[in-house]
Amino acid sequence: MEVGIIIITHGGLAESLKQTLFSIVGKKEKVVSISMSTEFTLGKLCEEIKQEIKNLAVEYVVIFTDMFGGTPSNASLIVAREQQNVYIISGVNLYMLIAAVNLRELNKDMRIEEYIEKIITEGRKSITNVNELFKNRFFNK
Amino acid sequence: MEVGIIIITHGGLAESLKQTLFSIVGKKEKVVSISMSTEFTLGKLCEEIKQEIKNLAVEYVVIFTDMFGGTPSNASLIVAREQQNVYIISGVNLYMLIAAVNLRELNKDMRIEEYIEKIITEGRKSITNVNELFKNRFFNK
């Protein structure tokens, strides 16, 4: 399984996520970001996504968007309807990107559906009430 | 309930999250970011967090960190052990910040524990397999 990763968000968030990801796991191939500025129309964003997919030239593309219902997510959905190998995960955070990169390297035989599910599980698990985790050790509240 | 929000991450991600948040919900008071550069030590980061908490001067502080186990999260934990009104949520994404700001404005009588739980629930819910959501409508995969 060969996977390319595209991060798409409102504003500069996508690029920051990519840079922070690289600062932790090292620079990786086939990870790109599209930061949607206010000048972007839905149509322009779709074109940009298609171009990045073409450049990646991989078997599967996983698009990470900031939130469901936003323009980055809607544009991705339009493209994914046209292209069978494009998958979308909303609610991107740093940890799920780390998981996506690591799983891609370590489990090359994984099915794409399983890969998507694992990333989502890892992303959700990474959202924690830290005080609660340490309640018995540190906190009296 | 009066809540201040601090976003702390590796690199410029925290500032990007804040800027993207403001571009969607408008500029808000009592929302600050600390972007940890590579020069930051754990001690320096703790000092920075304490200073921001002092500046916020609110009843409760909720710190959003990029991921559990990283320096931003560890420094927050050190501060939260010393200060009873500090809560930490790891795995920050854009949607949970929108939820945090909206809930703060709309539910002033909410208990802090309930506020934290709701943000975590919203954050986790925002991580979705978008193709799966639209499977019956759009996709044949």
pLDDT digits (tens, 9 = 90+) for A11-53: 999 999 999 999 999 999 999 999 998 888 999 999 999 999 9
CB A59 within 8 A of CB A1: yes
CB A10 within 8 A of CB B20: yes
Q: How confident is the model at residue B141 (pLDDT cuts 50, 70, 90)?
A: very low
Q: Report the pLDDT value the prediction gives residue B137, as an integer from 0 to 100.
A: 65
| Angular region, B98: left φ>0, alpha ψ -120 to 50, beta rest | alpha
* Whether residue B62 has pLDDT greater than 50: yes
CB atoms under 10 Å from CB of B89, counted, come to: 26
A73: nearest CA partner in chain B? B130
- Over residues B112-131, the mean pLDDT reads 96
Residue written as token pair 């500032």: B15
Q: How far apart are CA A31 and CA A77, in angstroms?
A: 19
Q: Report the pLDDT value the prediction gives residue B54, as an integer from 0 to 100.
A: 97
Give percent above pLDDT 70 in chain A: 96
- Among B68, B69, B73, B70, residue whose Cα is nearest residue B49: B73
pLDDT digits (tens, 9 = 90+) for B79-107: 999 998 999 999 999 999 999 999 999 98
Q: What is the ipTM of this complex?
A: 0.93
Facing B67 at nearest CB: one of A81, A126, A138:
A126
Total-model pTM: 0.94
* Whether residue A122 has pLDDT greater than 70: yes
The verdict on A15 touching B (C-beta cutoff 8 Å) is yes
Q: Which residues of A touch B23 (CB under 8 A)?
A: 10-11, 38
- Over residues A66-86, the mean pLDDT reads 94
Nearest CA-CA distance, residue A15 and chain B, Å: 9
CB A91 within 8 A of CB A63: no
pLDDT digits (tens, 9 = 90+) for A92-111: 999 999 999 999 999 888 99
CB A56 within 8 A of CB A4: yes
Give percent above pLDDT 90 in chain B: 85
- Over residues B96-122, the mean pLDDT reads 95
